[in-house]
Amino acid sequence: MEKTSINKFNIRVYGLVVNDKQQVLLSDEYQLDMKMTKFPGGGLNFGEGTIDCIKREAIEEFGQPVEVVEHFYTTDFFQKGHSVFGMQIISIYYFIKFIDEIKFKISDKLFDFSDMVNGNQSFRWINIKDLKTQDVTFPIDKKVVQLLKIRLNLF
């Protein structure tokens, strides 16, 4: 798809949860009839601020609230949408932390769900020093992996 055929934005907001072991939380999902590994978060609703979005997404995905610590990155290159024609993706990433202890399941294995049904999701920690760009699915997340390693001096 040419840039000239893109006429809308799709704004995505993601949370980077880093624990005291220098691990980051990843979300393994089956969405849009495909497996994907990404950072937790999702789409901005019209009329919603980006911080409100990541707080809403946290309740939807984790079932518990988060605190936004700081902005980390906003897409600074052109990225066409993978699943929606005519859309340019802009992703915004925040460092977030849980207000209470984690109450949802965190797995040790990839795609820890039995059926490939749209909407299935599991979470897992991965050591940031071991994290590779190929561990995540989407191009903007791949850049965030590189930036996260630089930020935390883990290259």
Is 79 a domain residue?
A: yes
Mean pLDDT of 68-97: 91
**Structural element, H or E, at residue 35:** strand 34-38
Query: Which CATH number fits the domain that encloses residue 9?
Result: 3.90.79.10
Is 155 a domain residue?
A: no
Is 129 a domain residue?
A: yes
* H runs (alpha helix) in 1-138: 50-62
Is 132 a domain residue?
A: yes
Confidence tier at 98 by pLDDT (50, 70, 90): very high
- Scan for tokens 């909407």, then name that residue: 119
Is 143 a domain residue?
A: yes
Is 12 a domain residue?
A: yes
Mean pLDDT of 61-82: 95
CB proximity list for 151: less than 8 A, separation 6 or greater: 72
Instruction: Please tell me whether residue 115 adopts helix, strand or coil conformation.
Output: coil
CB proximity list for 24: less than 8 A, separation 6 or greater: 16, 17, 18, 39, 125, 126, 128, 131, 148
| Structural domain of 18 | 3-150
Is residue 1 pLDDT above 60, yes or no? no
The total number of structural domains in the chain stands at: 1
pTM of the model: 0.93
Mean pLDDT of 61-85: 91
Is 9 a domain residue?
A: yes
Is residue 99 pLDDT above 90, yes or no? yes
* H runs (alpha helix) in the chain: 50-62, 139-151
Model confidence pLDDT, tens digit, residues 124-140: 999 999 999 999 999 99
Cα 108 to Cα 52: distance, rounded to the nearest angstrom: 30
Mean pLDDT of 76-95: 88
CB proximity list for 131: less than 8 A, separation 6 or greater: 24, 145, 148, 149
Mean pLDDT of 57-67: 98
Confidence tier at 84 by pLDDT (50, 70, 90): low
pLDDT at 4: 60
